[in-house]
Structure 1
């Protein structure tokens, strides 16, 4: 298993930050690299929501199917995907920090194929940069 953690302090209320990360419609507005979202369920938020996200990664469009597997209002949301031989487990959490919000993203990458184990090791640094870019975009969106 490989893990990446990114923490951002955002000068905005917890509720706003949580609404931004927990509703893919808001998250896709905040993160410019997300170019399309297609819902695969009738529900648009909450546990069980499944969607197909297309984003620009490394100069090319990539599409992944994701599912919200855990949500505690104004606390945390877990979004998971099983793609390319890896379970991608992203846990976003928020907590009040004075007048600001501390947003933490912990992404566990659990490869279940040999080639995927090699790729997650090789990609860890670039994944960190991509996740930091997403978190910077959320910060800018919430503070703007």
Structure 2
């Protein structure tokens, strides 16, 4: 299992930051390398929302199916994906920023490989994944600050 945790302060209200990460329509608009989102459920936000996301990863396209498994308005949202022999478990949490200014956004991702090939490759991908997540969070920050 690999564990990645990143946080940053966003100069925008909690509600704006939360809706940017918790609503896949906003998230896909905020993150420029997400090319397409296809909803697989009638639910678009909140627990039970399922969707297929296609994004550019370097020069390749990667498609993942994700499901929202936990959703507490203006507090946290959790996404699960089963991709390539690994369970990707991602939680975004929002709260008051340092000194009560802005919003603290924390993203924790755990990758739990269950197939042999994934058990070998997933730990090697940690640095690449962390870099991609940092880029996502920077895009979320810019989007939320522009909206807030």
TM-score normalised by structure 1 residue count? 0.98
Aligned length: 144
- Residues 1:50 and 2:37 aligned together: no
Structure 2's unaligned 5+ residue stretches are none
**Corresponding residue for residue 28 of structure 2:** 28
Task: Please state whether the residue corresponding to 1:106 is helix, strand or coil.
Answer: strand
Shift of 1:114: 1.4
Shift of 1:60: 1.1
**Corresponding residue for residue 80 of structure 1:** 80
**Corresponding residue for residue 15 of structure 2:** 15
Distance 1:24 1:49 in 2: 9
Matches within 5 A, 1:1-144: 1-97=1-97, 98-144=100-146
Shift of 1:34: 0.5
Distance 2:51 2:39 in 1: 4
CA RMSD of aligned residues (A): 0.6
Task: Please state whether the residue corresponding to 2:74 is helix, strand or coil.
Answer: coil
Distance 2:32 2:120 in 1: 29
Per-residue Cα deviation, 1:19-64 (whole angstroms, up to 9, x for no partner)? 1111000000100010000000011111000000000012111111
Structure 1's unaligned 5+ residue stretches are none
Per-residue Cα deviation, 1:50-94 (whole angstroms, up to 9, x for no partner)? 000000012111111000000000000000001100000000000
Q: Report runs of 4+ in structure 1 exceeding 2 Å deviation.
A: none
